[in-house]
Every structure is written in structure tokens, then in C-alpha cells.
Amino acid sequence: MARIRINGGPWRKVMPGSSLLGLIKGRGGVPIHTSCGLGSCGSDIVLILSGMEHLSAPFPTELRTLAAEEAPANARLSCVTKLMDGDVEVEVPDYSLEQPAA
């Protein structure tokens, strides 16, 4: 069984193998920004508060992007990260939210 908590909200059961981006936008209703969907733009950084071991392993592209963005050690890119099993708590920082049109 897999569960996710987004920005301190309620725990939600999810299908193992679901992408964090889909869970955050769909289930969580959080307007996270994404651009490329390939792990190279760095616009959809999320912070993993707990459960990092329940996520898919990062690919080299994601690691390079996170390093270039000087992201903290608990950061992942939601577009390329999958929740494999277990419980994961995610925080979407303000800098990863879609900005309203001016």
C-alpha cells in the first residue's frame, strides 16, 4: 500500500508507481509548476519530509538538475519521481508553485 501527505494535508491512499507530479496536481490540487516533464528544467522541485526510501531512485538527469539548482538533500523533481510503496510526506515549496498571470 502507498500513501501520500501533501503540504500537511490528509493521508491519501494511492496506486504504487504513481508519479509525484500527478499526485500533487491531481489528488492534492496543488498548482505545482512544471515545464519539461523530463527532469531537466528544475521547475517542480519538492521536498521529501519523510519516506524518501519509498520513492523511485533518481536518474542522472534529475541529480544533475538538483545539483545545478543547489537543491537541499531531501529535494526531488516531482515529474520523474514515483511513489513505489509506503508512506511519503511531501512539501511543495513556494518557488515551485505556478505563478498567477499578471
E strands, the chain, where? 2-6, 12-14, 18-19, 45-50, 75-77, 82-83, 86-91
Q: What's the rounded Cα separation, in Å, for the pair 39 and 61?
A: 6
Q: What is the pTM of this model?
A: 0.92
Domain spans in the chain, listed from the N-terminal domain onward: 2-96
pLDDT at 25 over 70: yes
Nearest of 37, 16, 56, 20 to residue 5 by alpha carbon: 20
Beta bridge partners of 8: none
CATH 3.40.50.150 corresponds to the domain 2-96: no
pLDDT of residue 39: 86
What would the pLDDT profile of 34-92 be if each residue is shown by its tens digit? 888 888 888 999 999 999 999 999 999 999 999 999 999 999 999 999 999 999 999 99
Total residues belonging to the chain: 102
Q: What's the rounded Cα separation, in Å, for the pair 92 and 85?
A: 20
Q: Which three cell numbers stand for residue 74?
A: 531531501
pLDDT at 100 over 80: no
